[in-house]
Amino acid sequence: MRKVLFCPPTYFEVRDVKNPFMQPGDPVDRERAARQWHALRAAFQEAGFELESIPAVPDLEDMVFAANQTFVGKSPTIGRFIVPGHMRHHSRRREVPHFVEWFRQRGYKVVELALENDYLEGHGDLLWDVDFSRIWAGFGFRSSRGGVDSFAHAMRELGLEVVALELTDPTFYHLDTCFAPLTPGAVLIYPGAFSPSALAAIRDKCPRVYEVTRDEALRFVCNGVSANGRFLLPHLPASVAKALDCEGLQPVLVDTSEFEKSGGSVCCLKLFLE
Ligand code: ARG
């Protein structure tokens, strides 16, 4: 059974502005956040996943977004591995060692990249295709081009394909805010978030590209997650319902309103483990 890792929202808050969704002074209701987080875990469990947790750490207010600190992979040569991220914001860099330690204790190899002045933000920008045939890698706002290039080089050595995608709209600061793999050959995107060459690469690799409007994307529909024939997402506009129907995916609505105040929803709150 596939496993999925979460970090509880014990210390979650909106403290500073790291992305355009965040407004300090828009207080988080932690009890409500906790209820939403438990319901999200339950939705993954109902979709057939085994749940794992990493303890929250005081003062790390964004650690609840467990997708961003590491990239998790599996290769025929080295088996299960992680690539630790180098987060753009200082406050979030402190989250990474806690995740690296969690994985080390469970026997994952750690593939360290010399990122120095480059950035890589885990599965915020690095998304496995649903059939694990390739990794889509966004860059421009959080992960840098150099960060994605180093990552692509290391993955190529492990026999894994990386498709780099340039992001051009600062509102859609992570790839998972504007791009969601649905089924093999199908993705859901907000096209306005990508450079022309990124859009061409997506269309070249995917026979079925479903588009959403900017307003729909602002409601985090592209932050939905394909999970065992279901698609877990926070809102369901008619266009997305139609796309999911064409792909044979069952929509599952989950309320993530407290986390949206910080610029995150379903995809940001979970980390799939290989
Ligand atoms: N407040 C967090 C940040 O700006 C949200 C991260 C959301 N994660 C994601 N995968 N998009 O870093």
- Taking only the tens of pLDDT, the chain with its 274 residues reads 799 999 999 999 999 999 999 998 779 999 999 999 999 999 999 999 999 999 999 999 999 999 999 999 999 999 999 999 999 999 999 999 999 999 999 999 999 999 999 999 999 999 999 999 999 999 999 999 999 999 999 999 999 999 999 999 999 999 999 999 999 999 999 999 999 999 999 999 999 999 999 999 999 999 999 999 999 999 999 999 999 999 999 999 999 999 999 999 999 999 999 7
Told to judge if 86 belongs to the known catalytic residues of this protein, a careful annotator would answer: no
Q: Mind giving me the DSSP string for 148-167? A: HHHHHHHHHHTT--EEEEEB
Q: Is 174 in the pocket of ligand 1 (CB under 6 A)?
A: yes
- Of the residues 86, 174, 235, 267, only one is catalytic, namely 174
Centroid of ligand 1 to alpha carbon of 76 (angstroms): 31
How far apart are alpha carbons 200 and 265 in whole angstroms?
27
Cα–Cα–Cα angle for 212, 218, 220, rounded to 5 degrees: 80
Q: Is 69 in the pocket of ligand 1 (CB under 6 A)?
A: no
pTM score: 0.97
Q: Is 71 in the pocket of ligand 1 (CB under 6 A)?
A: no
Protein residue closest via CA to atom 9 of ligand 1: 268
How far apart are alpha carbons 107 and 16 in whole angstroms?
35
Taking alpha carbons only, the member of 146, 174, 179, 175 closest to residue 89 is 174
Q: Does domain 3-272 have CATH number 3.75.10.10?
A: yes
Helix (H) or strand (E) holding 169: none
Told to judge if 268 belongs to the known catalytic residues of this protein, a careful annotator would answer: yes
